[in-house]
Structure 1
Amino acid sequence: MRLLSLSLAGQYKGLKDRTFDFEAAQGNIIAFIGLNGSGKSQLLELIAEIFSYAERFVRYDFKTNTGFPFAVLLVYEIEGIRCKIKINQSRQPSFFIWQDHEW
């Protein structure tokens, strides 16, 4: 899996209204470098939280009653297929696949 971009509208811990673009990264290795307290761990936690939240809606054995207090848009590529997860504030996630130059 290759992470392409993540947009956050609202606040998650210390991150607020940010867009992260990873498309320029080449190869399989990405390092997050920054000062202590700059949000590196929070960014990784947010990515994990998005996939965890999305999985709870796909699997029948998980249920969730609460939504995110923020909105996110995560674009990634897996096995050559471009995918997008969009979660609006307190709503069910939407899943998209890039096909024929449109979502």
Structure 2
Amino acid sequence: MTTTPIATFDDFTKIDLRVGRIIEVTPFPEARNPAWKLKVDLGEEIGIKKSSAQITNYTAEELVGTLVMAVVNFKPRQVGKFMSEVLVVGVPDSDGKIILVRPEKDVPIGGRLH
């Protein structure tokens, strides 16, 4: 059984998870753990945002054009000299590698998770 506190539906609605498309991937050699710097297009309302993501089990070529889910309403976070503006989400596989959470079909970018 999990020890995570019980959340209310109101707690859930505070998290703004949106669909974005990765449009640029660059190395982040100064990161403490292996990571990529991403630019994610989240649609007209939100625009293009930056994120640092420990998803180096994917190549840059695999990531560009990929739809992802990202939390867009967290306070930006300083990661070394890089300011991460959104949190791209994933879950670890059995080897601890982060697997992206993403729509299984092509959906409009900027769409909010319900």
Which TM-score tier does this pair reach, normalised by the shorter chain?
Answer: under 0.3
